[in-house]
Structure 1
Amino acid sequence: MDTLARLRAGELAGATRLTLRADLTEFPEELYSLADSLEILDLSGNRLTRLPADLGRLHRLRILFCSGNPFTELPEVLGTLPNLEMIGFKACQLERVSAAALPPRLRWLILTDNRIAEVPAALGERPALQKLMLAGNRLEALPASMADLHQLELLRLSANRFATLPPAILALPRLTWLAYGDNPLGAERERAVRTQAARQQRIAWSDLALGERLGEGASGIIHQARWQSPTGPREVAVKLFKGSMTSDGTPESESAASLSAGTHPWLIGALGDLAEHPEQRSGLVLELVEPAFGNLAGPPSFTTCSRDVYPEDTRFTAAAVREMAGGMASALAHLHGHGLVHGDFYAHNILWDGGARCLLGDFGGASLLPEDAAQAARLQRFESRAFGILLEEWLTRCSEPVDPALAALAAECQQPDLDARPLLAEVAQRLQG
């Protein structure tokens, strides 16, 4: 029996979480039978164009997903839900977002891949907002009120129409993970980078024999493969992108960033762009990482919002923390020196060998640094905060007494005064010293 039939039969009484995909064109009235229990509702992948005016009857609802439905405006009824914290309307057909649609406790808003040209000033009046995902829209500006979003940590602005970086975001004290590629503000430089990247080796699909699936991320699926390279057979990894838009940006931007990042012992290297795929899929050919390496952590959960989730038994020695911190600081400084910010410097984008070696990958949120030196320094210091958070996470999982100098460094990288944070080149130098 499918979920809708079970709901109508009264078999889901007391449910706190429900996913309902049944080609719906109308909101099922039976959902109100769960009004006193339902906290998470996923209606993605249906054909809904509206939500009922009495949706507030679901008074315990905290999380609502309606992605992939043909809504043209964010329903204003969402603003009446007292406990609603997370909203996901990705890949709908949204053109309008009104102030009335933003609930007072809004913490996480996903409006990726729509047609939105303007967001209301009221967005800056939601003090709990931590994550805002607006990639793949038609935005040219953000309201000045966003300067008041003192809890905002993750912001996705890629693939919009920004001619300049919005001034309101450049002094946000907690902004840490920012992606802004594929905008007019850097279009000319991005084209040059892509042209240069295209001159590098392009690897034909016919020269690859795909093997087992190794993993999956927000932007693509990774397989092991054997490449018949000019120098002979070679084991590699192939990342096949899922589509034309991810929560972070576009595959083209990720490819250009990966190929222009250069080589570094603590980075997963890119070998070339995938070419001549029979279904015209885009992809990257990457260095194959040794089997001893695995994901250091999982991505943030609904509860943690902007913090990764580590396995309960994850522990590090004091020596390992110091070595990993030095390696990651060096890798970020290397990227900054190549005119890039990673934009998604998280443990879930790091592979770990269980000891003291790490490899940073996934350039889906990477962006070119602007030519303006002051802005470039600000953006690098956003990434300093990401490093400080990661170092703090490692120190809390250290199996030995914490090095006071490392704890002080983690705090220094996270201080609210952006200009007082050390750049990663300085951090790397200090750790090496």
Structure 2
Amino acid sequence: MNTLTQLRSGALQGAQRLTLRAGLRELPEEVYSLADSLEELDLSGNELDDLSDDLTRLHRLRVIFCSNNRFTRLPEVLGRCEALEMVGFKANQIAEVPAIALPPRLRWLILTDNRITALPDELGRRPRLQKMALAGNRLRALPASLAACGRLELLRISANQLDGLPDWLLALPRLTWLAHGGNPFSAAHEAHALNHAPMPSVPWSQLDVQGLLGEGASGHIYRAAPAGGEAVAVKVFKGEVTSDGLPSTELAACLHAGAHPQLIPAIGRLSDHPAGADGLLMPLVGPEFRTLAGPPSLASCTRDVYDPALRLTPRAALTVAAGIASALAHLHARGLTHGDLYAHNILHDGLGQARLGDFGAASFLASVPAHQAVRLQALDVRALGCLLEELVACCDERTPPLQAMSALAQACLQADIDRRPSAAELAKLLLVQVA
């Protein structure tokens, strides 16, 4: 994070990135002294409600974040920023998105947790559009023009007012990661899962909470021990809209998912939390397990970022792939999509054992017509294809089984959605290669 003192003293001259948290009501004039270098500007957590037309002076600006401010309208000046690719205005009070506010090179749009009821048709005339986060708004429909966005890969439309999914959306050739829970058309199935899951309830007062293990978009994970029992992991949901959607949707999916060796299971439901929060009890994962990759970066947009030092044997890579494919097939058979099948949601031990978690983008297949349910599963399969590609890239050898896995990856990634194999078919084929 930078300071106004640094900016005004000239200490930031030549900076490519600038982050200011200073209760700003307008952009300081000194920012424009960085016009020939500044590419990323983060103004989140201020008191802004508009941006000056002078923003166009930042002619190299590619990324702007203005989350947690006071905007009620997406600023029109953004549409005149020729180099701008990523726009993030999460958690404002935006109700209107003018067509002229959309930059011509728009690739990544974050408008999570606002008050938007409609989006302009102009959005479909942004051919580079690859990623959109729109959860927690008041959308009743999506612009039909988005059918032309052939590069769109990730879409979050959870927790809106949608009464269904348009068929054209599920025909997009590169759409891979879709979250749509928490809408009226899925509410009944989510509520049924919450109310009828055969899961023991554990009061918060009976847990000896021993420390924070980590934090995700939807909750905090603690190490805790039930009275007289072994230590477990407890996920306490934040109870607010996240980039994926509603914590209640994630909770419903976790409770409905059932048991599988490659899933991190729910073993109990938290009750009587002092703040009224929902939560889950899960077994602790051993210390030998670590995250397979990091989440996407600004540069990679939709693809995970792997440690270049990570190397896997062909057998380990194939075993991970077969296990995750089997877990995905299990979810589909249970009537769920995962929606966020990424390496950053997979824990592995380096020897082939892996666990898939994070159901924040999951959805219930019964909430859509049968033909759409088939295509929703095909989106998860495309995500699996991305994972297979990445696992192959982590291997130094190129054995025949790995070549077979590469071929399966291409089958998952093909643009003809209806020709992609099922997760169950992939699990069987990958298991053969492991053997």
**TM-score, length basis structure 2:** 0.96
Q: How far apart in 2 are the matches of 1:303 and 1:222? A: 29
Q: Does 1:203 align with 2:202?
A: yes
- Give the Å deviation of 1:168: 2.8
**2:226 match: secondary structure:** strand
CA distance in 1, matches of 2:59, 2:268: 51
Deviation at 1:278, TM superposition (A): 1.5
Letter in 1 for 2:72: T
User: Counterpart amino acid of 1:407?
Assistant: S
Amino acid at match of 1:49: D
Q: What is aligned with 2:20?
A: 20
* C-alpha distance in 1 between matches for 2:59 and 2:168: 33
Percent identity between matched residues is 58
Q: How does 1:260-409 map to 2 (within 5 A)?
A: 260-369=256-365, 370-402=367-399, 403-409=402-408
SS in 1 for 2:10: coil
State the alpha-carbon separation in 2 of the partners of residues 71 and 212 from structure 1. 37
2:97 aligned residue: 97
**Counterpart residue identity of residue 6, structure 2:** R
Q: Using the alignment, how far apart are the partners of 2:272 and 2:224 within structure 1?
A: 16
Report the Cα distance in structure 2 between the residues aligned to 1:291 and 1:233, rounded to whole angstroms: 19
1:427 Cα deviation after fit? 1.0
Give the counterpart letter for 2:420 in structure 1: R
Is the 2:190–2:253 contact (alpha carbons within 8 Å) kept by the matching residues of 1?
no
Paired AA for residue 207 in structure 1: Q
Runs of 4+ in 1 over 3 A off after TM superposition: none
Change in Cα spacing, 1:2 to 1:154, as seen in structure 2 (3 Å) is closer
Partner of 1:134: 134
Q: Closer, same or farther in 2 for the Cα pair 1:227/1:395, shift >3 Å? A: same
- Per the normalisation by structure 1, the TM-score is 0.97
- Please name the residue that 2:144 is paired with: 144
Q: For the Cα contact (< 8 Å) 2:2–2:19, is it kept in 1?
A: no
State whether residues 316 and 350 of structure 2, in contact with CA within 8 Å, keep that contact through their aligned partners in structure 1.
no
Aligned to 1:29: 29
Do 2:240 and 2:246's aligned partners in 1 also have CA atoms closer than 8 Å? yes
Structure 1 counterpart of 2:119: 119
More moved, 400-409 vs 54-63: 400-409
User: What's the secondary structure of 1:185's corresponding residue?
Assistant: coil
CA separation of 1:116/1:367 partners in 2, compared to 1, >3 Å: closer, same or farther?
same
The one-letter code of the counterpart of 2:324 is: M
- CA offsets, 1:296-318, max 9 Å, x none? 11000001111101111111111
Give unpaired runs (5+ residues) of structure 2.
none
Distance (Å, rounded) in 2 between the aligned partners of 1:411 and 1:240: 38
SS of equivalent residue, structure 2 residue 38: coil
Distance apart, 1:371 and its partner CA: 4.6
Q: Distance in 1 between matches of 2:42 and 2:368?
A: 42
Give the aligned partner of residue 55 of structure 1. 55
Shift of 1:373: 1.6
Q: Which amino acid is the alignment partner of residue 101 of structure 1?
A: A
CA RMSD of aligned residues (A): 1.3
Contact between 2:2 and 2:20, CA under 8 Å: does it hold in 1? no
Larger mean Cα displacement after TM superposition, 347-356 or 186-195: 186-195
Provide the C-alpha distance between the structure 2 equivalents of 1:240 and 1:152, rounded to a whole number of angstroms. Answer: 32
Question: Which residue does 1:71 correspond to in 2?
Answer: 71
The equivalent of 2:423 in structure 1 is 424
CA distance in 2, matches of 1:81, 1:184: 37
Aligned length: 429
User: Aligned to 1:167, what secondary structure does the other structure show?
Assistant: coil
Per-residue CA deviations over 1:385-407 (Å, capped at 9, x if unaligned) read 00000000000111221422111
Which residue in 2 is equivalent to 1:415?
Answer: 414
Counterpart secondary structure, 2:25: coil
CA distance in 1, matches of 2:238, 2:345: 17
**Deviation at 1:327?**
0.5
- Say if 1:82 and 1:104, in contact at 8 Å, map to a contact too: yes
**Residue matched to 1:163:** 163
State the match for 1:181 in structure 2. 181
Aligned equivalents of 2:236, 2:41: Cα separation in 1: 30
Q: Deviations over 1:117-138 (max 9, x none)?
A: 0001111111111110000000
Query: Where do 1:203-242 residues align within 5 Å?
Result: 203-228=202-227, 232-242=228-238
Do the aligned residues in 1 keep the contact of 2:2 with 2:18 (CA within 8 Å)?
Answer: no
- What is the deviation of 1:202? 1.9
Q: Distance in 2 between matches of 1:2 and 1:136?
A: 30
* Greater displacement, 91-100 / 315-324: 315-324
The amino acid of 1:429's aligned partner reads K
Aligned-residue offset at 1:166: 2.4
Q: Give 3-state SS (helix, strand or coil) of 1:238's partner.
A: strand
Q: Tell me, yes or no, if the aligned pair for 1:142 and 1:168 is still in contact at 8 Å.
A: no
Q: Match of 1:426, SS?
A: helix
**8 Å CA contact retained: 1:255, 1:273:** no
CA apart distance, 1:281: 2.8
Q: Which amino acid aligns with 2:220?
A: I
**Cα deviation digits, residues 288-342 of structure 1 (max 9, x gap):** 1111101111000001111101111111111112111111110000001111000
Name the CA distance, whole Å, in 1 between partners of 2:308 and 2:219: 27
Q: CA deviation at 1:353?
A: 0.7
Query: How far 1:2 sits from its partner (Å)?
Result: 6.6
Give the secondary structure class of the aligned counterpart of 1:285. strand
Secondary structure of 1:79's counterpart equals helix
CA distance in 2, matches of 1:2, 1:115: 30
Q: d(CA) in 2 for partners of 1:267 and 1:140?
A: 34
What is the deviation of 1:243?
4.1
Q: Distance in 2 between matches of 1:374 and 1:34?
A: 52
Task: Report the residue type matching 2:272 in the other structure.
Answer: E
Q: Distance in 1 between matches of 2:4 and 2:103?
A: 27
Offset at residue 215 of structure 1 (A): 2.2
Unaligned runs of 5+ in 1: none
Distance 2:11 2:423 in 1: 55
Partner of 1:127: helix, strand, or coil?
Answer: coil
